[in-house]
């Protein structure tokens, strides 16, 4: 049996009566999650403040540990956890008789049991315990205000602020079930709205044994909750008619807002999404106007909550007017539209890449670092990190592979794909990021910088070094498709379409095209 999973999502039809019931059930889930999270934190704090835990930490910090000390440390930690009850479920090997699962049994005696079943309650308990574990074992991050490294903190769900957006059962045979084209949950029947072109949804409804669990999700659309079902399925999704999967290696270079990829049959340099052009450019400008409007309303409603330099004061209560709430609702709806469009364009882009190759090689970059170094707006708009996450899912489910290359070894931005010569871009006071053309001082090869990096990634060996012979042979054999990519950019720029600054100027692209024509002769 395969371990691969994928999600099929569909809209649910909800009558006013069903919406009322679902609102009360999600409200009950809100109470249960906060209750479990508070109990998890209480037990965790008791665990780390115990004498046994502190002794175990002293042993851990003492240096290299012998096998005897390792066993002693392990016993101290387990004893502390047993006494504090910081276990999700009772485990005979640990001897814990007061686990969180036993604590949750008191919910059967409250009004919450009328709205939430035991399976859904246990899944909420798992989520709360996972949040507590992240506090205990998560990586420390630097606090910008204090400058100290701190562990993540748990966040309780505030009413009318933070909502529980999804509930699920433990399995497909638990309380939330798929029966035919309907979802059944504690006497509530929710029909699935089936689009005529959604072949995957029809396949899952005809084969319900593939479903591992059912999740009900909600989204706030124009001030009203819309409910969706997510079916977690085992195996590989069916292939849609007309879709082709290619063979071969694809080298890609992904930036904050652009992507360049090179395969054996096609070469492309484009923006990740079209949010900077077309109809969605109006959405972005409208979103900016709403953000400024909300900021003006916030300052007008709370004049005493800001310093003289305009920064907000800490620890103040904020007043929100009804007009500000309506503006915030409009902004949330705009952000939802932009996110849906971005996710759709990511899928189209990945389908195009998957149609020309089954192995994707790209740089291993830190997009969080890019956010802090001046590219926050571009990353927030185009989401390159989300694109890579979706690429790994897409290639994994379709029999492909995504491999990240260590740029400290490959140095794709400094290496020439034609001869392998390494040289830093930018001389003197010129920032290397402003140089968008690769001009090799050793062999004279000229190419757009992102395409040159994609060429290097395509021909990178397993040890993260460039295979110069293969790269040079590819440049000679595939010169027409490389030239066609540059000519497409020149044509679109001459037709008045905006050319991203990361592509280089029109004169630089024309220089590359002229160089290429001379070399062909």
Report the pLDDT value the prediction gives residue 91, as an integer from 0 to 100: 57
Same domain? 392 vs 412: no
Report the pLDDT value the prediction gives residue 495, as an integer from 0 to 100: 87
Residue 243 included in any domain: no
Per the DSSP assignment, residues forming a β-bridge with 184 are 177, 189
Report the pLDDT value the prediction gives residue 520, as an integer from 0 to 100: 39
Q: Taking all residues of the chain, what is their mean pLDDT, rounded to a whole number?
A: 88
Report percent pLDDT > 70 for the chain. Answer: 95
Same domain? 389 vs 461: no
More confident position, 434 or 211: 211
Same domain? 281 vs 186: no
Average pLDDT over residues 313-326: 92
Q: Are 189 and 197 in contact (CB under 8 A)?
A: no
Q: What is the pTM of this model?
A: 0.86
Q: What is d(CA 259, CA 384) in angstroms, rounded to the nearest whole number? A: 9
Average pLDDT over residues 25-35: 94
Residue 92 included in any domain: yes
Report the pLDDT value the prediction gives residue 96, as an integer from 0 to 100: 63
Same domain? 167 vs 61: yes
pLDDT tier, 100 (very low <50, low <70, confident <90, very high otherwise): confident
Q: Is the pLDDT of residue 276 over 80?
A: no
Same domain? 385 vs 303: yes
More confident position, 211 or 284: 211
Same domain? 172 vs 318: no
For residue 399, the number of C-alpha atoms closer than 13 Å in the C-beta half-sphere is 10
Same domain? 300 vs 317: yes
Per the DSSP assignment, residues forming a β-bridge with 214 are 231
Q: Is the pLDDT of residue 519 over 70?
A: no
Q: Give tens-digit pLDDT for 114-131.
A: 999 989 999 999 999 999
End residue of a domain, out of 379, 405, 431: 405
Q: What is d(CA 236, CA 244) in angstroms, rounded to the nearest whole number? A: 15
In terms of Cα–Cα distance, which of 41, 36, 45, 212 is closest to 126? Answer: 36
Residue 244 included in any domain: no
- DSSP character string of 387-439: HHHHHHHHHHHTT-EEEEE-HHHH-TTTB-TTT--B--S--TT--GGG--EEE
pLDDT tier, 355 (very low <50, low <70, confident <90, very high otherwise): very high
Residue 241 included in any domain: no
End residue of a domain, out of 367, 387, 405: 405
- Tokens coding 25: 């059930």
Average pLDDT over residues 295-322: 93
Q: For 68-86, b where at least 16 C-beta lie within 10 A, e where not — what string?
A: eeeeebeebbbbbbbbbbb
Same domain? 398 vs 411: no
Residue 229 included in any domain: yes
Q: For 451-484, b where at least 16 C-beta lie within 10 A, e where not — what string?
A: bbbbbbbbbbeeebebebeebbebbeebeeebbe
* DSSP assignment letter at 208: G
Cβ-defined contacts of 471-476 (< 8 Å, 24+): 471/417, 471/418, 471/420, 472/417, 472/418, 472/419, 475/417, 475/418, 475/445
Same domain? 73 vs 95: yes
Report the pLDDT value the prediction gives residue 43, as an integer from 0 to 100: 92
Range of the domain at 21: 5-234
Q: Is the pLDDT of residue 517 over 50?
A: no
End residue of a domain, out of 405, 422, 439: 405
Q: Are 352 and 250 in contact (CB under 8 A)?
A: no
pLDDT tier, 173 (very low <50, low <70, confident <90, very high otherwise): confident
Same domain? 147 vs 270: no
Give the strand pairing for 249-254 and 5-12: unpaired
Same domain? 128 vs 216: yes
Residue 242 included in any domain: no
Q: Give tens-digit pLDDT for 366-410.
A: 887 888 778 888 888 899 999 999 999 999 988 899 999 988 888
Q: How many domains does the chain have?
A: 3
């Amino acid at each position: 049996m395969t371990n691969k999973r994928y999600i099929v999502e569909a809209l649910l039809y909800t009558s006013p009566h069903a919406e009322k019931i679902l609102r009360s059930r999600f409200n009950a889930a809100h109470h249960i999650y906060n209750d479990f999270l508070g109990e998890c934190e209480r037990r965790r704090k008791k665990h780390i403040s115990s004498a046994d835990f502190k002794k175990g930490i002293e042993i851990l910090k003492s240096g290299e540990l012998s096998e005897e000390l390792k066993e002693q440390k392990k016993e101290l930690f387990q004893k502390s956890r047993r006494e504090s009850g910081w276990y999700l479920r009772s485990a005979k090997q640990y001897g814990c008789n007061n686990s969180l699962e036993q604590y949750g049994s008191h919910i059967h005696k409250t009004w919450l049991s009328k709205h939430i079943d035991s399976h859904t309650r246990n899944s909420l308990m798992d989520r709360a315990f996972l949040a507590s574990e992240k506090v205990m074992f998560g990586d420390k991050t630097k606090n910008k205000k204090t400058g100290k490294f701190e562990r993540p903190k748990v966040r309780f769900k505030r009413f009318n602020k933070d909502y529980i957006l999804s509930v699920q059962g433990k399995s497909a045979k638990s309380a939330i079930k798929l029966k035919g084209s309907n979802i059944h949950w504690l006497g509530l029947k929710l029909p699935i709205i089936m689009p005529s072109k959604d072949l995957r949804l029809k396949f899952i409804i005809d084969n319900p044994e593939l479903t591992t669990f059912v999740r009900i999700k909600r989204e706030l659309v124009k001030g009203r909750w819309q409910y969706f079902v997510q079916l977690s399925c085992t195996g590989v999704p069916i292939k849609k008619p007309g879709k082709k999967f290619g063979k071969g290696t694809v080298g890609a270079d992904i930036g904050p807002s652009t992507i360049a990829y090179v395969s054996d049959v096609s070469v492309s340099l484009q923006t990740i999404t079209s949010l900077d052009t077309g109809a969605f450019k109006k959405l972005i400008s409208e979103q900016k106007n709403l953000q400024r409007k909300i900021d003006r309303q916030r300052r007008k409603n709370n004049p005493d909550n800001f310093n003289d330099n305009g920064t907000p004061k800490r620890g103040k209560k904020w007043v929100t007017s009804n007009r500000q709430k309506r503006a915030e609702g409009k902004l949330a709806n705009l952000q939802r539209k932009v996110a849906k469009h971005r996710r759709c364009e990511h899928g189209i882009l990945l389908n195009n890449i998957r149609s020309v190759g089954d192995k994707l090689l790209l740089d291993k970059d830190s997009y969080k670092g890019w956010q802090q170094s001046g590219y926050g707006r571009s990353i927030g708009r185009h989401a390159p990190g989300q694109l890579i996450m979706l690429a790994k899912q897409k290639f994994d489910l379709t029999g492909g592979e995504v491999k990240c290359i260590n740029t400290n070894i490959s140095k794709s931005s400094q290496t020439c794909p034609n001869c392998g010569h390494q040289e830093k871009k930018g001389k003197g006071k010129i920032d290397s990021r402003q140089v968008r053309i690769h001009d090799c001082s050793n062999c004279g090869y000229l190419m757009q910088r992102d395409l040159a990096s994609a060429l290097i990634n395509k021909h990178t060996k397993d040890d993260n070094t460039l295979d110069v012979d293969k790269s040079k042979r590819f440049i000679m054999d595939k010169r027409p498709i490389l030239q066609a990519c540059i000519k497409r950019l020149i044509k679109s720029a001459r037709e008045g379409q905006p050319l991203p600054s990361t592509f280089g100027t029109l004169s630089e692209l024309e220089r590359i095209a002229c160089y290429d024509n001379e070399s062909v002769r």
